[in-house]
Structure 1
Amino acid sequence: MSRTPSLPSDGDASRKGRRGGRPGDSEPPPPPAPDTSLADEAQRRYLNYALSVITSRALPDVRDGLKPVQRRILYAMLHDLHLGPDAKYRKSAAVVGDVMGKYHPHGDVAIYDAMVRLAQDFVMRAPLIAGHGNFGSVDGDAPAAMRYTEAKLRPLALELLSELGQRTVDFRPNYDGTRFEPIVLPSRFPNLLVNGSQGIAVGMATSIPPHNLGEVIDACVALIENRELTTHRLLSYVKGPDFPTGGQLHATKKELEAVYTAGQGSLKLRGEWQLEEGDGKRGAAPQIVITSIPYGIERKAIVEKIAEVILSKKLPTLVDVRDESTGEVRIVMELKRGADAQLVMAYLYKQTPLAINVQVNLTCLVPTDNAEIAAPRRLGLHEILTKFLDFRYATVTRRLEFELGELRRRITILEGFEKIFDALDEVIRIIRKSEGKADAAEKLMKRFTLNEEQTDAILELKLYRLARLEILLVQKDLGEKRAEAKRIEGLLRSDAKRWGIVRDELVEIKGSYGEKRRTKVVGSIDEPEYQAEDFIVAEDANVILSAQGWVKRVREVKDLASTRIREGDSVLAAVAGSTRSTVAFFSNLGACYVCRIHDVPQSTGYGDPVQKLFKLADGERLIALMSFDPRALDVPAQTPDSAEPEPPFALAITRGGLGFRFSLRPHRDPSTRSGRRFAKLNEGDEVLFVHAVDGADRVLCASSDAWALSVAVEELALLSGPGKGSVVMRVAEGERLVGAALALGPSDVITVETEKGKTLEIAASKIAGQRGTQGEPVARRDRFARVVPPAVVVPTLEVS
């Protein structure tokens, strides 16, 4: 079958809408537009914009699988620039300029980006354009400018374009009405599934992953033979997405069926790896080699992320990473001797882009009763294949009708030659005696009963065709054309025979372009479970928090007074624990931020702002620090379905005089950057004191008007979730609490500093009272400025 289509001439383009007239002619002014509300007009215009984006830019057509810009690029390359597979490469800038000037006036950058994508073999499962030059790489390198690259069509692209000149699809005027462009290409294979598509429209999006050409064609052939096949049966042919970058697809048959039936869902994709054992003689360490990466992920991003894991020492068994990739992916990671490669990869799959979730959304444009309008719909696998096959069947029918029309026209001309051959002398005599072509045509038509088409062919006949041998060729050609016309008429009368043509052509394309599957489908994931602390070297460390919010981890600290802090700052708290244990930071806005001690940056300097670890709100600051190392404070895991708060408990006091106890168990494990709430505060209030109450007897509070109160800890409300608590000490209007402290017995004291700079020690027994009272006055002619916290000491760990 010929692959060089005959395309419609641009000279046939419609000239509708053009007006002309004599100079001085004038048209009456248009009538004034009726008044309309701004809301109605904005809604109408936004809907018009949304419809334009959906149908003319972002979504592919179910029939040829192309967006308008892609279709116009391919059409311009063949029809206008003649850049078939056998042509010489042409500058990409020439292609972009032709497409933008004639068909797609939306900017050269968008056109070139779409053209580059059609040529990238790591993006398209079956690329349609052959690129010459730098068209980008899987590493994320950008393509060269269009003035430097060249392109032409690949042979597979002709399977989309080859039938354009046979009236198989409808054409419409381009944006300025100077030429025609096809509404859709007469695709001979289901390109929508083979190459997939990504697009974001207004209020909808599409995300169709690429598939294997051979598998999709096998499913089409099976559907032709049995149109009642279910999605479940079709998935025995289409195993799932087949990405050009390979990888492993982890999905069961049930999960795939759910996705392909609903037309949307999520599938797990991850890179492949293999273990290369070291050479025992030379002492080489074992190494993990990554041989494929997930689709759409830059290779360098994976290498950089693995390098970050190594530098942060979150995976001590991983020593080094390097990229040895050439044409194939080869990322090499060196391991320590005795390391568990399965465990290392389980960690990397969760902490790096080596494993991703692929979103599937099979939304595309579906033809309507109006040939020029397609509507967006989300389809399942069965519907996509059915609509493509119906389109292909209609295309084959129109192609046969076109071929039959051309045959009949040729038969008519050959029959005219046959009629006049035995009377050639008379024909020549009539022509010689005529007064011109029109007169000769009229006389020949009258004498031999010819039509106009036959007469024109006779008058244009070359003299050498009058030889006796030529009539034999004419008669032979006539017989062949009549036999071919009869065959096509038979095909047009039989639906089954036309479906047979569709099937045979699909099988032929599979034989020419089919490739082995690259992405492996694995039903279930069999990998070891791991805990993050499994990769942390267990060692004791100290965490130091400053009043201004700087935090650091140090191996040893002998004297907190000598530790490095910024000028004007001071040590707020210091705790100790194993690097595998967690540490909790409590803020004045009622949030608890938890991380492993290993995650606190190690430093011998000032440390790092705590904002690097957590996402603090404006005005939020840290007021307390607790180590959850079992030797410092044993916080067991929370009991499932427990209705009551479980020990150990912590106490929180606010400036408004409220207080409560809460369980530390919900805060035992690392939190997100946003932390977990432990308190709900009234407007303008803040937490000023948080402390574990294990063994504490009473809590001592002091207010700014120099009153103090000591309350039994058991009297405070015990909350099961974030709350406001109850009144601990009633403060006068306009006054606030300045601090609190815990006492183990009546002899313990609270130390306060007055506004005049004096320091007072107040025994718990002298200010003992009931919860919710104002307490006892301490200083008549002075006010309290703050409660002096106990000196921060070098943390120690209990020996278990």
Structure 2
Amino acid sequence: TELKSILGSEEKVLNIIKEEMIEIKNKYGDDRRTKIDNTAIDYIEDESLIPEEEVIVTITNKNYIKRIPKDTYKTQNRGGVGIKGITTNEEDFVEQLIPLNTHDFVLFFSNKGKVYRLKGYNIPEYSRTAKGLPLVNLLQIDKDEKINTIIKIEKENTYKCLLFGTKNGIVKKTDIEEYNNIRQSGKIAITLKEDDELVSVKKTTGDNEILMCTSNGRMARFNEDEIRTMGRTASGVKGINLSNDVCVGMELSEPGKSLLVVTEKGFGKKTDIEEYRKTKRGSKGVKTLNITEKNGKIIGFKSTTDDKDLMIITNNGIIIRMELESISKMGRVTQGVKLINIKEDNSVASISIIEKEELSEE
């Protein structure tokens, strides 16, 4: 009868619940031991839970970033028209491309001379045609700051220093360990003058030759030991003497490698590095390409071997991949051959060298 009376009265039920809750509170109640935090978790600490994958990371001119499986792009013959690598508009295009492992560190260098760092697996994966994620969502970069060089630091790093090359022909060498423990807000990688920009960064063992190339077809070749190791915030010294010209990049000369040059209108050539005489640091260099209205100015160059593949990216998002051995070696003062068919209103935006793979049937 009492139980029926309780079940028949909502007030009695609530009173009993209240009394029992107070009893539990008095017996077991203590302060909260957990903390509620709305801050997003940026990194996964246990790397053993993350699979190691070979991927390609791309960055667009508007600083959009993504990673995709390395085998997404298939090899094509020289002169091909490529495949669509990203859905873009007239204002944006893929500008940089680098193969890496998801467990590698990735260093991001900006035109302002700052450096940022992420793990490969922190870069989001997207489809081949997707634009990607705004880089500002991953790194604390300024609105007018642009990431123009990315390099990978592998788990088993054997390099001693980083070499920096700027638009005004300045070069600097710094111990690679000075770029550890970089936060999302970044650090100064090189101190630049107001009218200068960082255009290239390379890893070095300390005993290489340096190649600096200009858009008008001049190249300086000099020994790395002409540059002393400087601190992270140092400005550097003159690498190549410019005259109404800009430095488009910097490469390292290594035994058995040839020099690849690609122009804005899709022409290119390979030349043995031995054909370029050594110059002193700060010289005007020697002629490396016969520039004409047909082939255009130099957009990029690489020191490489024939067992690699070349990736060419245009400003309208087309990417073509070809075997470097399919490109003939030519003399130093020639205009090159057509590597990619480009429409009149388009141009080459950048180039990249990746590991050679077997041609896959689609």
Q: TM-score with structure 1 length normalisation? A: 0.30
- Alpha-carbon displacement from aligned partner over 1:68-89 (angstroms, at most 9, x marks no partner): xxxxxxxxxxxxxxxxxxxxxx
1:759 aligns with 2:272: no
- Listed as ranges, the matches of 1:477-626 within 5 Å are 533-534=45-46, 537-541=49-53, 542=55, 544-548=57-61, 549-554=63-68, 556-560=69-73, 564-567=85-88, 569-570=93-94, 572-579=96-103, 581-604=104-127, 605-626=130-151
Given that residues 741 and 750 in structure 1 are in contact (C-alpha distance below 8 angstroms), is that contact kept between their aligned partners in structure 2?
no
Q: Distance in 1 between matches of 2:177 and 2:95?
A: 27
Q: Is the Cα–Cα contact under 8 Å of residues 564 and 606 in structure 1 kept in the other structure?
A: no
Kept in 1, the 8 Å contact 2:56–2:98? The answer is yes
**Partner letter of residue 87 of structure 2?**
R
Query: Retained in 1: the 8 A contact 2:60–2:94?
Result: yes
Partner of residue 664 from structure 1, selected from 176, 180, 197? 176
Q: Letter of the 1:546 partner, please give it.
A: I
Q: CA deviation at 1:564?
A: 4.9
**Superposed, which structure 2 residues align to 1:577-726 within 5 Å?**
577-579=101-103, 581-604=104-127, 605-631=130-156, 633-634=157-158, 648-669=160-181, 671-694=182-205, 697-726=208-237
Contact 1:697 1:745 in 2 (8 A): no
Map 1:177-192 to 2 at 5 A.
none
Partner secondary structure for residue 721 of structure 1: coil
- 2:298 maps to 1:785: yes
One-letter amino acid of the structure 2 residue matched with residue 785 of structure 1:
I
Q: Deviations over 1:76-107 (max 9, x none)?
A: xxxxxxxxxxxxxxxxxxxxxxxxxxxxxxxx
- CA deviation string 1:761-799 (max 9, x = no partner): 454332421111111234577473322455345569xxx
Deviations 1:486-538, CA, capped at 9 Å, x for gaps = xxxxxxxxxxxxxxxxxxxxxxxxxxxxxxxxxxxxxxxxxxxxxxx336623
- Give ranges in structure 1 of 5+ residues lacking alignment: 1-244, 248-270, 273-289, 294-301, 316-532, 635-646
Could you tell me how far apart the structure 1 residues matched to 2:115 and 2:175 are?
A: 12
Q: Which residue of 2 aligns with 1:368?
A: none
Output the CA distance in 2 between the equivalents of 1:687 and 1:695.
Answer: 20
How far apart in 2 are the matches of 1:587 and 1:689? 10
SS in 1 for 2:70: coil
Distance 1:538 1:674 in 2: 25
Q: Which residue of 1 aligns with 2:281?
A: 771
Q: In the alignment, residue 717 of structure 1 is paired with which amino acid?
A: R
Deviation at 1:656, TM superposition (A): 0.6
Residues 178 and 232, structure 2, Cα contact 8 Å, conserved in 1: no
Whether the aligned pair in 2 keeps the contact of 1:543 and 1:600 (CA below 8 Å) is no
Pair 1:731–1:534, CA change in 2 (3 A): same
State the Cα distance separating 1:246 from its structure 2 match. Answer: 7.7
Flag structure 2 segments of 5+ consecutive residues without an equivalent. Answer: 1-28, 75-82, 303-309, 312-351, 357-362
- Going from structure 1 to structure 2, the CA distance change for 1:609 and 1:706 (only over 3 Å counts) comes to same
Give the RMSD, CA atoms, in angstroms.
3.3
TM-score normalised by length of structure 2 = 0.62
Alpha-carbon shift at residue 657 of structure 1 (Å): 0.8
1:543-597 Cα deviation digits (max 9, x unpaired): 512232222244x421346785232623612232344x52211222211111223
Contact kept in structure 2, 1:657 and 1:730, CA below 8 Å = yes
1:305-316 counterparts in 2 under 5 A? 305=39, 309=41
How high is the sequence identity, in percent, across the aligned residues?
Answer: 16
Using CA pairs below 8 Å that are at least 6 residues apart, which structure has the higher relative contact order? 2
Report the Cα distance in structure 2 between the residues aligned to 1:648 and 1:771, rounded to whole angstroms. Answer: 21
Instruction: Tell me if the contact between 1:588 and 1:620 (Cα under 8 Å) persists in the aligned partners.
Output: yes
Q: Partner of 1:666: helix, strand, or coil? A: helix
- Separation of aligned partners in 2, 1:701 and 1:752: 14
C-alpha contact (below 8 Å) 2:109/2:149 kept by paired residues: yes
Distance of aligned partners of 1:596 and 1:746 in 2 relative to their CA distance in 1, 3 Å threshold: closer
SS at match of 1:665: helix
Paired residues for 1:175-254 under 5 Å: none
Shift, 1:741, TM fit: 2.2
CA–CA distance in 2 between the matches of 1:591 and 1:700? 23
**Deviations, residues 607-656 of structure 1 (Å, cap 9, x unaligned):** 2111111122243222222222324x35xxxxxxxxxxxx5212111111
Q: Return the structure number with greater strand share.
A: 2
Change (3 A) 1:656 1:246: farther
> Judging changes above 3 Å, is the alpha-carbon distance between structure 1 residues 706 and 795 closer, same or farther for their aligned structure 2 residues?
closer
Is 2:252 aligned against 1:742? yes
Equivalences, count: 262
1:668/1:608 Cα in 2 relative to 1: closer, same or farther (>3 Å)?
same
Deviations 1:430-483 (A, max 9, x none): xxxxxxxxxxxxxxxxxxxxxxxxxxxxxxxxxxxxxxxxxxxxxxxxxxxxxx
Matched ranges for 1:216-295 at <5 A: 272=33, 290=34
Q: Which runs of 4+ in 1 moved over 6 A?
A: none
1:214 corresponds to which residue? none
The answer (yes or no) to whether the contact 1:576–1:795 under 8 Å persists in 2 is no
More helix by share: 1
